[in-house]
Chain A
């Protein structure tokens, strides 16, 4: 299995901050990576796929980058609605795996 490791597990930030979440794969996955946002009691919502392609309707303050084993999700200026859990998912192999999640909380 390809293991996905996110850091940090918890991130405290303020509205207006620029924040970055990192996702590392245990082996190269090319750019076959997606990012999701999940709020309490809700299903995950697709933000980014193919490492850097923004899903339709997702605000431009979200961006993704990376290739191979290291990837980042950046939010350029945090808004109140952005405080949530974030997950990465690889789809390079047929056994899809997710990161353990990053909780983005208000400082």
Chain B
């Protein structure tokens, strides 16, 4: 059974960089069939896809966040990470990591496994 677990500080100061890591267990991040995504959910319930990374390091980011987002992957640790710079209160949300499975025309796809989510609050 694949499991994903987010880790990182729950409180980030405005203008600083949010850093999160997702550890994958029960399966290899090295699989060619999957991409690894970050998704966030604002308090008003809206789900927003942030971007994905492939085990090779290839990435694709949501254009609305692209200038502030960087993702990386560490296949030796079966982890992938998110950095979001210059955060503001609008970045306060629950952040999820998720496994993205190809929906037909890779890499486009949907999310079959999710982490439990971690609340990130941006506040001084």
Contacts and interface: CB of A to CB of B under 8 A. Distances in A.
Contacts of B110: 34, 46, 49, 89, 91
B103 A85 contact: no
A92 interface: yes
Nearest to A45: B114
Interface string B35-67: 000000000011111000000000010110000
A91 B109 contact: yes
Interface in B100-124: 103-104, 107-112, 114-117
Contacts of B112: 46, 55
Interface in A27-69: 32, 34, 36, 42-46, 49-50, 55
Nearest to A50: B103
Contact of A32 (B48, B104, B107, B114): B104
B105 to A, nearest CB: 8
Given A43-B96, A44-B111, A55-B112, A96 B49 contact: yes
Nearest to A49: B110
Contact of A43 (B49, B109, B114): B114
Contact of B60 (A36, A94, A98): A94
Of A45, A95, A100, most buried by chain B (CB within 10 Å of CB) is A95
A46 B111 contact: yes
A32 B108 contact: yes
Contacts of B63: 95
B46 A92 contact: no
14 contacts: A32-B104, A32-B108, A34-B110, A46-B112, A49-B110, A50-B103, A55-B112, A89-B110, A94-B108, A95-B62, A96-B49, A98-B47, A98-B48, A100-B45
Interface of B: 45-49, 60, 62-63, 96, 98, 103-104, 107-112, 114-117
Given A95-B49, A98-B46, 11 more contacts: A44-B47, A44-B96, A46-B110, A49-B110, A89-B110, A95-B62, A95-B63, A97-B49, A100-B46, A101-B46, A101-B47
